[in-house]
Structure 1
Amino acid sequence: MAARRPPVVAVVGPTGSGKSELALALAERFDGEAVNADSMQFYRGMDIGTAKLTVAERRGIPHHLMDILTVREEATVAGFQAMARAAIAGIQARGRMPILVGGSGLYVRAALDVLEFPGTDPDVRARLEAELDRDGLPVLARRLAGADPVSAARLHDAKRVVRALEVFELTGRPFSSFMPEREYVQPALQIGLDGDRADLHVRLAGRVHRMVDAGLLDEVARLVPEGLREGRTAQRALGYRQFLRVYDGESTLEQAADETIVATRQFARRQLTWFRADPRVHWLDWADDDLAGAAAALVSGAVGLNA
């Protein structure tokens, strides 16, 4: 059965840990195709600041769900779930192995787990977003704490707080009640990358400085007329928010780089917290000299193949 329908392999972990490279190695070894689960790599033109692999860097391996949205469009977990599962089914139908790769925790769960999505209402959402713009995130966060303390303790970004309030208003149920048990919708293997925190901090700082040298500010400038400011998802992306202020003359390159490094470290810490809470993740050290071999052994054990 495994030969007819290869299981889903997910490579997860914090930003900067080497997920993309490991996914490439596994795809080459097991005849796989990659499915992107980084919500910011959905956006066309957001290349440097998201560390998106170039076509050449993908080494001929198909990558699905990259460059599928304009910066004006909003990424949704429900929409991603449908697209990711369609991509996975197509890969499996070709007899190849789907390799989900990314650090957006809820998106990974949406692709892998039995997960119900409550409906949405554009009018309610627009009203809540207007309240967010007028009153600020702390006011909405306090309201959420009264309605859904579990979600309030877990959600800290504006988009998710608004979504949780919308769900509560529409359904009368706390958003947290829609979070599933950890049950895969089909056989899957999650491989997580972790390692020394000081090493990660060095990696992240170096990556941000390389993005600056590669022209992140120019990329932001190109995206402004395409609607970067108007895109509620895209304009909050790490780096883009900070470098928009440079574009507007409100900050310097050095200040924006430093702020991006701090924000990226904080984001990486939240990613690790999210994935560490899932006992199904098999953790590997990103500094392992034979990381690809260790990951291949896990995949082989899962599918009964020889690496």
Structure 2
Amino acid sequence: MIKVIAVVGPTAVGKSDLAVEVALRMEERTGRRAEVINADSMQLYRGMDIGTAKLTEKERRGVPHHLFDVWEVTEAADVASYQAMARARVEECADRDVLPVLVGGSGLYVRAVLDHLNFPGTDPAIRARLEAELEEVGPGVLHTRLAEADPAAAGAILPGNGRRIVRALEVIELTGRPFTANLPDHTSFYPCLQIGLTAPRSELDERIDLRVDRMWDEGLLEEVRRLDALGLRRGRTASRALGYAQALAQLDGGLSETEARASTAQATRRFARRQESWFRRDPRVRWLPYDAPDLADRTLTLVDRALSGSWADPGRDEALVDVSTWVPGARPVMD
């Protein structure tokens, strides 16, 4: 029997809304409660609401949500710390016979909860030396070094992502092994059902563009101005978040509002492609179309079967849809 449901997929595809709907319907149908655990790394930050599309209390519709507003914007993201917090919430839910629904598009954070994933420690001296080198020579030089030591890691980390490059080099130096050697195969820590939402690329791009416009219209610039006063620029992670980096540039006069919106939309579309690629590689994800009129019912069908330990014969399973033609390389939802 599964212990966790996970709703995954690219940004702006509707994961949070589906999780709430499934939780409400599950309680209506079975009497068993479900609660949401956040797996979006940026929604862990206190005050980063508009730019992360964090659900409001009204939008949560009475469903308890966990691990929002945990970190200050000055703190660096720490997936090992998140793993400990999230697994504690999973166990606490299990003790109350509540089914946790893990929701988010931060692939490493999802895997940190669901899989046998251990994180090497950190060495302050090594980290400080690499960060000083990053400041001096820039991420490109360090990325070249990473490519020589671990080509697979360099291929997965963007050349401009200095924080991740430094971490990969630190792990290599600490362990004497490639960074990617510390990432296990897809072996579950918890029995889990993973539901992946997918959308045709053109439709997802349109949803992203609409979301970015809504962020500015709803007051992202004012939110960033408030967070700036609380030290946003000192935060190595939060200050680089999509939308927040562009809004800071707008406040500084480096970008016009039109340019800031366009830059955010473009960067978010690229990010969504990487999210799709990440989750596509996991053979356990059952993919469903984001706009199916009976999406919640299809999801609940999968949940019921997973909870009972039975999976339908794919040849007769009309509740599931093959969306492998929508996302290149995606696995059909049928087993």
- Structure 2-normalised TM-score? 0.88
1:8 to 4, 10, 23: 4
1:204 to 201, 208, 220: 208
1:236 to 209, 234, 240: 240
**1:58 is matched with which residue?**
60
SS in structure 1 opposite 2:36? Answer: strand
How far, CA to CA, are the matches of 2:16 and 2:99 in structure 1?
A: 16
SS in structure 2 opposite 1:229? Answer: helix
Q: Are 2:278 and 1:282 aligned?
A: no
1:190 to 171, 194, 219: 194
How far, CA to CA, are the matches of 2:202 and 2:174 in structure 1?
A: 44
Residue identity in the other structure for 1:89: E
**2:93 is matched with which residue?**
91
Deviation at 1:100, TM superposition (A): 0.2
Residue identity in the other structure for 2:57: V
Q: Are 2:261 and 1:257 aligned?
A: yes
Residue identity in the other structure for 1:148: D
How far, CA to CA, are the matches of 2:17 and 2:99 in structure 1?
A: 16
How far, CA to CA, are the matches of 1:132 and 1:250 in structure 2?
A: 23
How far, CA to CA, are the matches of 2:185 and 2:207 in structure 1?
A: 34
Q: Deviations over 1:220-275 (max 9, x none)?
A: 10011111101001011000001101111111111100000000000000000000
How far, CA to CA, are the matches of 1:202 and 1:181 in structure 2?
A: 34
Q: Are 2:43 and 1:41 aligned?
A: yes
**2:139 is matched with which residue?**
137
Unpaired runs of 5+ residues, structure 1, are: none
Deviation at 1:215, TM superposition (A): 0.5
**2:222 is matched with which residue?**
218
Deviation at 1:29, TM superposition (A): 2.3
Q: Cα–Cα, structure 1 residues 60 and 173, in superposed 2: closer, same or farther, change >3 Å?
A: same
**1:102 is matched with which residue?**
104
SS in structure 2 opposite 1:284? Answer: strand
Q: Deviations over 1:263-296 (max 9, x none)?
A: 0000000000000011100000001111111111
Residue identity in the other structure for 1:122: P
Q: Counterparts of 1:159-174 in structure 2 under 5 Å?
A: 159-174=163-178
How far, CA to CA, are the matches of 2:149 and 2:309 in structure 1?
A: 49
How far, CA to CA, are the matches of 1:231 and 1:183 in structure 2?
A: 33
SS in structure 1 opposite 2:248? Answer: helix
Q: Cα–Cα, structure 1 residues 305 and 185, in superposed 2: closer, same or farther, change >3 Å?
A: closer
**2:123 is matched with which residue?**
121
- Structure 1-normalised TM-score? 0.96
Q: Sequence identity of aligned pairs in percent?
A: 56
Deviation at 1:305, TM superposition (A): 8.9
**1:150 is matched with which residue?**
152
How far, CA to CA, are the matches of 1:14 and 1:205 in structure 2?
A: 14
How far, CA to CA, are the matches of 2:223 and 2:173 in structure 1?
A: 39
SS in structure 2 opposite 1:132? Answer: helix
Q: Are 2:111 and 1:82 aligned?
A: no
**1:304 is matched with which residue?**
308
Unpaired runs of 5+ residues, structure 2, are: 27-32, 311-335
SS in structure 2 opposite 1:181? Answer: coil
SS in structure 2 opposite 1:103? Answer: coil
